[in-house]
Amino acid sequence: MDMFGSAALFACIVASGVGGVAITFVAFRYGLVPPEHDEPVAHIRRRLFATQLAHAIAAVGFAITALTAAAVMVTKGVVVTPDSLKAPTSERLNNVESLVQQMTDVLDRMERRESGRLAR
């Protein structure tokens, strides 16, 4: 891997990590529920400030990750076209359709067997 690709990968990892740690810290420190109505106003303001700051840090980190990854894709000549996305998607859809058909067949057989038992 060339120097730019290595540096970009490192930047993506660090930026994503910082964003994830910021959100995780706030969730761990203040929980995932809104503040209680009887909490002191100073505590609610501190909690709101910490939450907004963590969201801002995470947004910047994730934006840096996206821009760095896009820069690598552009410089490496990676092209994503609808045709390149269509083939794997249609293959996956076909697999899902066959799986749903198998499940339907099994359910039909079970229903027939159960209705035969109830008729006796």
pLDDT at 83: 64
- pTM for this predicted structure: 0.58
* 90 and 65 within one domain: no
* 101 and 45 within one domain: no
Look up residue 33 and give its DSSP letter.
S
* Lowest mean pLDDT across 1-10, 24-33, 47-56, 58-67: 1-10
pLDDT of 119 strictly over 60:
yes
14, 64 contact by CB (below 8 A):
no
Count of domains forming the chain: 2
Distance between alpha carbon 19 and the CA centroid of its chain, in Å? 14
Strand, coil or helix: 4: helix
Contacts of 29 (CB under 8 A, 6+ apart): 50
Q: Which domain holds residue 19?
A: 1-79
* 109 and 56 within one domain: no
Q: Report the distance separating Cα 65 and Cα 73, nearest Å.
A: 12
* 36 and 7 within one domain: yes
Q: Report the distance separating Cα 35 and Cα 73, nearest Å.
A: 43
Contacts of 15 (CB under 8 A, 6+ apart): 60, 61, 62, 64, 65, 68
* 73 and 52 within one domain: yes
pLDDT of 25 strictly over 90:
yes
Instruction: Give 45-99 pLDDT, tens digit per residue.
Output: 999 999 999 999 999 999 999 999 888 888 876 666 666 566 566 777 777 788 8
